[in-house]
Amino acid sequence: IPVDPFDLVIFGGTGDLAQGKILPALFRRFCAGQWAEGAQVIGAARTDYDRDKFRNLVRNSLESHAGRHSQDTAALNAFLQRVDYVTLDAVADHGWAELAQKLQPDRVRAFYFSVGPRLFGPLAERIEAYDLTTPQTRIVVEKPFGHDLESARALNATLAAHFRESQIYRIDHYLGKETVQNLMAVRFGNMLFEPLWNSQYVDHIQITVAESVGINGREEYYERAGAMRDMMQNHLMQLLCLIAMEPPAKFDPDAVRDEKLKVIRALDPVKPHHIVRGQFEGESSSYRKAVGNPRSTTESYVALRAHISNWRWAGTPFYLRTGKRLVARSSVINVMFKDAPHSIFGADAGRHANALSIRLQPNEGITLKVTIKEPGQGGMRLVDVPLDMSFAEALGAENQDPPDAYERLVMDVIRGNQTLFMRGDEVEAAWAWTDPIIAGWQARGDVPKPYESGSTGPGDAELLMKRDGRRWQGIN
Ligand code: NAD
């Protein structure tokens, strides 16, 4: 379904994020026929380009990032006709009058802040000073949204001075992933799971976001952030919210975000012995070498045990882990059910529990581990078998290429749907939970445990589970 005509301005349009993600996403939606007549995208950045030079840059980027669509020369040329450019300085007046002239009065108007957070304030001020805000204006801001609670509050206050909350779209691209939305469909669209979705039946939940890559090209940022700020505070926290929240009354932005906020606010402070930090090392790839700091104490891995103090989850631990240079790239949520209360088959049959695995990447799908009789003669022994569903296989060829996260999210901005974007109070609550953890490390002079590049993480993370009589599911 085509969206309303729009003017989308990308501040930082010549940057890596715009060229690598945002423009390819817009192009794929253009090819899918979602752009209304007259819609345009305007790159705006400090780089001294004219329109043709910018179009060339975009053409090259699409050829390397837009997949099979970029083979379609006619579509590519038609798209580039809708691309314009203004050389503009966020912290001075250069270029703003020219930008104002290019915008149409009665359309959806979106400003994508694809620049560092220090430019959010100056951009917001100039948008107001040049009277560019209309009733249909939205702004999109990228992570990182703050470095701690104080800076996130300051950013929220800066934006709130110029825009209403209903105009602010804070991106966490994890929320745009098809399978992450599927999490909600699985939970709230099936009668099968929700009655069991509580501490009476669920022993514990594991959330793993493992990356095999290092920190290529982002050394300076990462050294200041670490895995806790870069991944845990936002992406894993969002997954935790979707897995743990109460059913919202409807699938609308504030109903969903109210429930997520309640989860974050119900999180207990994490005890120091319930958290493990790690840093990858090895002959071929070492974190400290990568960032050029032989004494770096930034973590590239973090695993922790969280508790949600509410009626549904009291007593069910949530184990979260994320890291770089691990054995594989894999994001998966494992809901580990309790054992059956009594085994009628006797001790020799073995004890088995059900587990529901929701794979977010790669090979999105769901596996339910069920217990059956081990085939063969003699006695009654039990064995686990997977009931396995790969979404790609189950949904057929026409659904093999679902929109990626940025495609979905950018179109939601144009549609004015904030459901998959973080609200200001959510972000602040997540920092309020994260800050004391980081402050504790600093106060204790904590040094991350080394782990071998290409491994499953530091041994202490295994111990974290072992002490509780549990173990991590494999990363694969
Ligand atoms: P980048 O350095 O590649 O690009 C920055 C852009 O901002 C350039 O277009 C530059 O011309 C423009 N710019 C800088 N100063 C300006 C000014 N004073 N006035 C106007 N334009 C100015 O950065 P990037 O990698 O594209 O990242 C942009 C933002 O998105 C950052 O905050 C980053 O943390 C965030 N982010 C990036 C990625 C990624 O994959 N690259 C992922 C998530 C979040």
Same domain for 105 and 250? no
Same domain for 117 and 196? no
Task: Answer yes or no: is 152 within a domain.
Answer: no
Task: Report pLDDT for 391.
Answer: 73
Q: What are the residues facing 108 on neighbouring strands?
A: 6
Tokens representing 247 are 């059913």
Q: Average pLDDT in the 298-311 region?
A: 98
Q: What is the dihedral of CA 160, 165, 167, 173, to 10 degrees?
A: 110
Angle at 297 between CA 444 and CA 221, to 5 degrees: 125
Q: Which amino acid is at 14?
A: T
Q: Is 262 annotated as a binding residue?
A: no
Q: Which of 162, 235, 274, 307 is catalytic?
A: 235
> Closest ligand 1 atom, CA of 47?
11
Residue where the block lists tokens 């670490």 = 226
**Which of these, 77, 32, 29, lies nearest to 56 by C-alpha position?**
77
Same domain for 382 and 258? yes
Contact 39, 5 (CB under 8 A): yes
Task: Answer yes or no: is 362 within a domain.
Answer: yes
In residues, how long is the chain? 476
Task: Report pLDDT for 279.
Answer: 98
Same domain for 38 and 118? yes
Same domain for 460 and 367? yes
Task: Answer yes or no: is 16 within a domain.
Answer: yes
Q: Which domain holds residue 55?
A: 6-142
Instruction: Specify the CATH number for the domain of residue 398.
Output: 3.30.360.10
Task: Answer yes or no: is 165 within a domain.
Answer: no
Closest protein CA for atom 7 of ligand 1:
12
Same domain for 179 and 138? no
Query: Which of 98, 125, 142 marks a domain boundary?
Result: 142
Reduce the DSSP state of residue 131 to 3 states and report it: coil
Q: Exposed/middle/buried for 375, CB within 10 Å: 0-12, 13-18, 19+?
A: exposed
Closest protein CA for atom 39 of ligand 1:
17
Tokens representing 352 are 């088995």
**Which of these, 401, 404, 403, 406, lies nearest to 421 by C-alpha position?**
406
Closest protein CA for atom 15 of ligand 1:
46
Q: Average pLDDT in the 350-360 region?
A: 88
Best residue among 10, 11, 16 to mutate for probing ligand 1's pocket (most ligand atoms within 8 Å of CB) is 16
pLDDT surpassing 90 at residue 47? yes
Same domain for 41 and 179? no
Is position 342 annotated as part of the catalytic site? no
Could you say which DSSP state residue 167 is in?
Answer: G
Query: Which of 88, 119, 142 marks a domain boundary?
Result: 142
Same domain for 352 and 219? yes
What is the per-residue pLDDT across 58-114, written as a single tens digit (0 to 9) for each? 999 999 988 788 789 999 999 999 999 999 999 999 999 999 999 999 999 999 999
Closest protein CA for atom 37 of ligand 1:
17
Q: Ligand 1: distance of its center to the CA of 259 in Å?
A: 32
Task: Answer yes or no: is 167 within a domain.
Answer: no
**Mean pLDDT, rounded, of the chain:** 94
Closest protein CA for atom 6 of ligand 1:
12
Q: Is 46 annotated as a binding residue?
A: yes
Same domain for 324 and 207? yes
**Which of these, 131, 193, 128, lies nearest to 162 by C-alpha position?**
128
Task: Report pLDDT for 283.
Answer: 86
- ipTM for the whole complex: 0.97
Same domain for 180 and 234? yes
pLDDT surpassing 90 at residue 1? no
Task: Answer yes or no: is 39 within a domain.
Answer: yes
Gap between the terminal Cα atoms of the chain = 37
Reduce the DSSP state of residue 21 to 3 states and report it: helix
Query: Which of 142, 158, 193 marks a domain boundary?
Result: 142
Res. 329 pLDDT band, cuts 50 70 90: very high
Contact 113, 11 (CB under 8 A): yes
Q: Is 324 annotated as a binding residue?
A: yes
Alpha-carbon distance 142 to 451, whole Å?
30
What share of the chain has pLDDT > 90, as a percent? Answer: 82
Q: How many domains does the chain contain in total?
A: 2
Q: Is 462 annotated as a binding residue?
A: no
Q: Which amino acid is at 289?
A: K
> Closest ligand 1 atom, CA of 144?
34
Q: Ligand 1: distance of its center to the CA of 393 in Å?
A: 38
Q: Ligand 1: distance of its center to the CA of 464 in Å?
A: 38
Same domain for 233 and 337? yes
Q: Ligand 1: distance of its center to the CA of 18 in Å?
A: 8
**Ligand 1 binding pocket, CB closer than 6 Å:** 11-18, 45-47, 88-91, 114-117, 119, 142-143
Q: Ligand 1: distance of its center to the CA of 10 in Å?
A: 10
Could you say which DSSP state residue 119 is in?
Answer: G
Res. 179 pLDDT band, cuts 50 70 90: confident
**The three-state (H, E, C) secondary structure of 237-268, written as one string:** HHHHHHHHCCCCCCCCHHHHHHHHHHHHHCEC
pLDDT surpassing 70 at residue 120? yes
Angle at 242 between CA 157 and CA 274, to 5 degrees: 85
Task: Report pLDDT for 155.
Answer: 96
Q: Ligand 1: distance of its center to the CA of 13 in Å?
A: 8
What is the per-residue pLDDT across 216-246, written as a single tens digit (0 to 9) for each? 889 999 999 999 999 999 999 999 999 999 9
> Closest ligand 1 atom, CA of 173?
43
> Closest ligand 1 atom, CA of 221?
34
Reduce the DSSP state of residue 308 to 3 states and report it: strand
Task: Report pLDDT for 397.
Answer: 62
Best residue among 9, 10, 17 to mutate for probing ligand 1's pocket (most ligand atoms within 8 Å of CB) is 17
Q: Is 273 annotated as a binding residue?
A: no
Task: Answer yes or no: is 226 within a domain.
Answer: yes
Task: Report pLDDT for 399.
Answer: 63
Same domain for 199 and 313? yes
Task: Answer yes or no: is 446 within a domain.
Answer: yes
> Closest ligand 1 atom, CA of 21?
40
Q: Ligand 1: distance of its center to the CA of 267 in Å?
A: 33
